[in-house]
Every structure is written in structure tokens, then in C-alpha cells.
Amino acid sequence: MKNTPFLRRVFAIAASGFLVLLAACTTTVDTVEREEPVGTRQEVDDQRITTDRTLGRILEVRGVNEATVSNDLLRVQVELRNTRRGLRRFNYQFEWFDDEGMIVQQATTPWRTLQMEGGEIATITGVAPNPRVTDFRLKLMSGTR
């Protein structure tokens, strides 16, 4: 087969289309927020235990806040950032503990899925199942791409 100008043009168009398609697959999220936030966060010092090194490089925990709801239920918010470019899915689950460090059983403790675009910052929230809860643990697990 000869290398004709027509074939070169077809190849160039196909290559351009592939590059456009590739660029469309890497979505990121831009955000806007106050430079000086009005709300006051009650940040929690946290201990991070990373057993999944891949997840530890992809997902950044930016902060942990806590408050009370209905005057007696612990509410926790964890701010996460997807440090990669593409869409990622993560599974998470809160575990709740009483003041003696014993786990507080719930009827069901489902794993939830969070989907985040590249660079996106998301907040996940958990509310304790009863007033005996004084502490928590957040478990994170890699999801599918």
C-alpha cells in the first residue's frame, strides 16, 4: 500500500480524534470557597493507619471535624481530596465506640460508596446511632475505577 496524502490525512484525523477522546476521560473539579471561612470548625486530632498504599497515595484526608446533633449525638465530618486526575470510587464505613472503648453495635453498618472526580474535595458525614457514643473510627477501602 502506498503512503498517499489521503492516508496521511486519515491517520492525522484519527490521531486527533483519539487525543480529544483521551482528554475527555480525565475530568477534574474546580471549587470556589471563602478565603476566610465564617464557620468555626472543631477539628479533631486524628491517627491515620494506612494499610492500602495505593489508596493512601490517591486519597488525602484534609481534616476531621466533630460536633453534636440534637444535643447528644456525635456527628463527624471528614474532608477528603482525590489527589489523582480521574474519577475514583471509595467505600467507607464509620464504627462507633462508647466511653469505655467498646464498639457500639448497630442493626446494620453498611459500607457506603463515594465517587470523586480528579482533584475534587468531598466531605463525608456520619452521625452516631445513640447518645452513648463518644468516639469513632472511619474505615476507607478502594473501590472500582
Q: Was domain 1-145 assigned CATH 2.60.40.3230?
A: yes
The span from the CA of 61 to the CA of 55, in Å, is 11
Q: Which residue is listed with cell 494499610? A: 51
Q: Which residue is listed with cell 470556589? A: 32
Query: Which sign, positive or negative, has the C-alpha torsion 51, 54, 57, 60?
Result: negative
Query: Which sign, positive or negative, has the C-alpha torsion 36, 37, 43, 47?
Result: negative
The reported pTM is: 0.69
pLDDT at 43 over 60: yes
Residue 5's pLDDT band, with cuts at 50, 70 and 90, is: confident
The span from the CA of 93 to the CA of 111, in Å, is 5
What share of residues in the chain are helix, strand, coil (percent, to 5)? 20, 40, 40
Domains of the chain by residue range: 1-145
* Tens-place pLDDT, residues 69-106: 988 999 999 999 999 989 999 899 999 999 999 999 87
pLDDT at 143 over 70: yes
Q: Which residues pair with 8 in a beta bridge?
A: none
Which among 63, 65, 120 is positioned nearest to 90, based on CA atoms?
A: 120
Q: Which residue is listed with cell 478502594? A: 142
The span from the CA of 65 to the CA of 46, in Å, is 10
Which among 75, 47, 71 is positioned nearest to 61, based on CA atoms?
A: 47
